[in-house]
Chain A
Amino acid sequence: MGMLSFYLRKLIIIFKGEVLVLPSRVVVFLFFLVLLFLPVVTQDPYLLRILILTSIFAILAASWDLLSGFTGQMNFGHALFFGVGAYSSALLNLHVHIPPWGSIPIGALAAVLAGLIIGIPCLRLKGTYLALTTLAFPIILMGVVFAIPDITGGELGVSGLDRLSRSRLTDYYVSVVLMLGLCTVMWKITDSNTGIIFHAIREDEVAVRTAGINTTRYKLLAFSLSGFFAGISGGLYAHFMRIAGPSTLEVSMSFTVVIWAVFGGIVTIYGPIGAVFILFPLLEFFRFWPEFRMLMFAVVILLILLYMPDGLLPWVRDKIEKECPRCKIRNVATRKTCRVCTAELD
C-alpha cells in the first residue's frame, strides 16, 4: 500500500512538473484523453466513422513525415506504400483467408519490401529528381493493377473483405489505439539516436558521411520504416472500408498526404497528425457544399503556405511557447524567466 501511494505521488509530481508546465504537452494529453473517452459521451456511428478514417490517415501522414520530413527524401509517391499495404492485405484476406490481425501486418511487410525496392534506385537521387521519380511508382503499379483485372479487380478493386472487428465501437478503438501507439513509436524513433541521424542527413548528408555513418543504410531504413507504418494504415483502410481499390494508389492520394504534412508542419511528427485531425473532419463538414469542398481545401492550403511556411502547428507552438536562450528548454510564453535555469527570456 505504501509502495502504491509512493508511485502514485511520484506520477502526480511527474505529471505536474513535466506535462502541466507546457501548453503543448497539455494539448497532447487532452488529445489522448478525448480520443480514448469519446465513445462514453457519444456513439454516433457517423462521427466514429470519420474519426476512424482520420486516425488511419494520421498514421499515413506521420509516416510520410518520418521519411520525407526527417531524412529530407521528398517522397511524392507515398500512396505506393498505402496501396501496396491495402492490396496485399486485401488479397491475403480474400484468397488465403487470413483474418485482419494477420493480414494487416503481412501487408505492412509487403509495403516494407516495396519501400526497399523503390529505395534502391532512389538512393542515387536528390531533391526534385527524387520527388518526381517517387511520384512515378504508384502510377506504374496502378497501370499494372488495371492491366490484370482478374487478380486485382481492375477499376472495381478487391471487395468483400472481412470487417476489422464485429462492431463500429471496436473498430474505433482498434484504429484509435493503433494510431496513438504507432504515432508515439514514430515520435520515439525520431527522438532516438536513429532519428537524430535522419535529421542530420536532411541537413547535410556529406557531413554525416564524413562522421563515419553509412547514410545509405539509414536512408533505406527510413524508407522501410515509413513503408511499414504506411502499410499498416493501408491495411486498416482496406479492412475498414472492406475494399481495396485503385483510389488508394492515385496521384491525388500522394499529393493529399504531402499537403497534410506540409500544412501541419514537417519534421515534427505531431504536425501531420494534427493537420489530419483538423483538415479531414473539416472536409467532411464542407460536404454540405460538395462543389466548393476541394476549392476551399486548396485555398486554405495556399493561405497557410503564404503566412506560415513552416506549417500551422509549429507556428502556433512558437506563439504559446518560448525557447530559453541559454538551456534550450521550452517555456510558456507568459513566463519572464526560464523554468529550469532562470535565465531571462526575451
Chain B
Amino acid sequence: MIADIVISGLINGSVYALLAIGFSLIFGAARIVNLAHTAFYMVASYCIYFATHKMGVHPVLAMLVAIVLVTLIGLVCYQLFINPIREHEAAVLIATIAVAMAMQEIMLLIFTGDYLSVPALVMGYLRIIGVKIAYQQLLTFGVALLILAGVWAVLMKTRLGLAVRSTAQDREVANLMGMNESRVAMITMAISVGLAAFAGAVVVPLKVVDPHMWMHPLIMMMAVVVLGGLGSLKGSFVGSYILGLAESLVVFLIPMGAFLKGSVALSIMIAVLLIRPEGLFGIAFEEER
C-alpha cells in the first residue's frame, strides 16, 4: 500500500514536474501564462498514437517526430496568436484558452472522442517489496528525471540559459545588456512546448488518450506552479512531487478519493498561499503580486 502510494506519486510527480517547469519557464522569461500548455501535451500523445497505430512507425521514432512536430506547432501558434498581443495580459490568457479549445476540437474531429491507448515500450514488470512496478513506469520515471537534469544543465551552464534566466529576472535590463528579448522569448517558448510534448511522449503508454485529457494536468500543473512560486524552477520541481504524492495519498486512502484528488491538491495550494503568498520558493517582486 505505502509502496503503491509512493510509486504512483513519484511518477505523477515527474510528469507534473516536466509540465510545470515548461510552464514556469515561459512565464518567467516572457510573462506569458500559457494555458494551452497541456493541450500541446495532448497533441503530442495523439501524434504518437497516429504514428504507431496508423503508420506503423517504431514507437521511439514516433516520439521524436511527435516532439519536433508539436514544438513547431507551438511556435506557429506563438507567432500567430500570442506574440501580437503579448502586452495585454488578459488577452493572452484568453487567446491561449482559445488555442487549447481549438486543438481539442480538431482532435475530436480527426480522432473522435474515443478512448485510445498506446502499447508500452517495454513489457514486463519488476517486484520490489511485494509491489508490481511495470518497466514502463520505471522508464517514464527515469527519462523524466534525465530530461529535468538536462533542462537544468542548459539553464545553468550555457549562455542561452544565462540569457533566459536574466530575462526572467528583468526584461528591460536584459534587453539593455544586448539580449534579444523577443528571440529569447521565442526560444523559451520552443523549449517549453518541447517539454510539454516530451511529457506527453513519456506518459502516453500509461494513460488513456482522449481529447479532454489536458484538463486535469492543466489544473494540477497550475496548482504546482502557484505552490512553488511562479517562475521558480526549484519551486515547480518540489511542488510537483508534493502534489503528486498528495494526489496518490488521497486516491488510495480516502473513499471516493478519485473525485477529491483535484480538490485536495488545490486546497494544499491555497493553504500554502495563505501562509506564503509568493509560493514556496517564489521571490516577492513588489509590483507583481
Give me the interface of A with B, judged by CB distance under 8 Å: 74, 76, 121, 124-129, 131-133, 135-137, 139-144, 146-147, 251, 255, 258-259, 262, 266, 291-292, 294-295, 297-299, 301-302, 305-306, 309
Contacts and interface: CB of A to CB of B under 8 A. Distances in A.
B263 A255 contact: no
Most chain A CB within a 10 A radius of its CB, from B90, B260, B266: B90
Given A147-B256, A297-B101, A298-B102, A306 B81 contact: yes
Contact of A298 (B99, B260, B269): B99
A294 B90 CA distance: 21
B4 interface: no
Interface of B: 27, 33, 81, 84-85, 88-91, 93-95, 97-99, 101-102, 104-106, 108-109, 215, 219, 222-223, 225-226, 230, 256, 259-264, 266-267, 269-270, 273-274, 277, 279, 288-289
Contacts of B27: 128
Contact of B260 (A74, A147, A255): A147
Contact of B89 (A128, A132, A147): A128
A140 B266 contact: yes
B91 A295 contact: no
10 contacts: A125-B273, A128-B33, A131-B93, A133-B273, A143-B264, A258-B93, A259-B94, A292-B105, A294-B105, A302-B98
Given A143-B262, A251-B215, A74 B225 contact: no
Contact of B81 (A143, A292, A302): A302
Given A133-B273, A302-B99, 19 more contacts: A74-B93, A124-B274, A126-B288, A127-B289, A129-B279, A131-B33, A136-B219, A136-B222, A136-B270, A139-B266, A141-B263, A142-B263, A143-B262, A146-B256, A147-B259, A255-B97, A291-B108, A301-B94, A306-B84
Nearest to A206: B287
A294 to B, nearest CB: 5
A139 B97 contact: no
B25 to A, nearest CB: 14
B276 to A, nearest CB: 10
B98 A298 contact: yes
A255 B214 CA distance: 15
Contacts of B97: 255, 258-259
A146 B101 contact: no
A215 to B, nearest CB: 15
Contacts of B273: 121, 124-125, 129, 133
Nearest to B225: A132
A297 B97 CA distance: 11
A23 to B, nearest CB: 26
B289 A144 contact: no
A125 to B, nearest CB: 6
A309 B102 CA distance: 19
A140 to B, nearest CB: 4
A294 B211 CA distance: 13
Contacts of B215: 251
B94 A133 contact: no
A299 B101 CA distance: 9
B270 A133 contact: yes
A301 B105 CA distance: 14
Nearest to B215: A251
B105 A309 contact: no
Given A121-B273, A128-B27, A266-B90, A295 B223 contact: no
Q: Which 7 A-B pairs have the closest CB atoms?
A: A143-B263, A146-B259, A136-B266, A298-B102, A295-B105, A140-B263, A298-B101
B259 A128 contact: no
Given A127-B288, A133-B226, A309 B101 contact: no
B84 to A, nearest CB: 6
B248 to A, nearest CB: 16
Which of B84, B101, B109 gathers the greatest number of chain A CB atoms within 10 Å?
B101
A266 B33 CA distance: 19
Contact of B88 (A124, A129, A309): A309
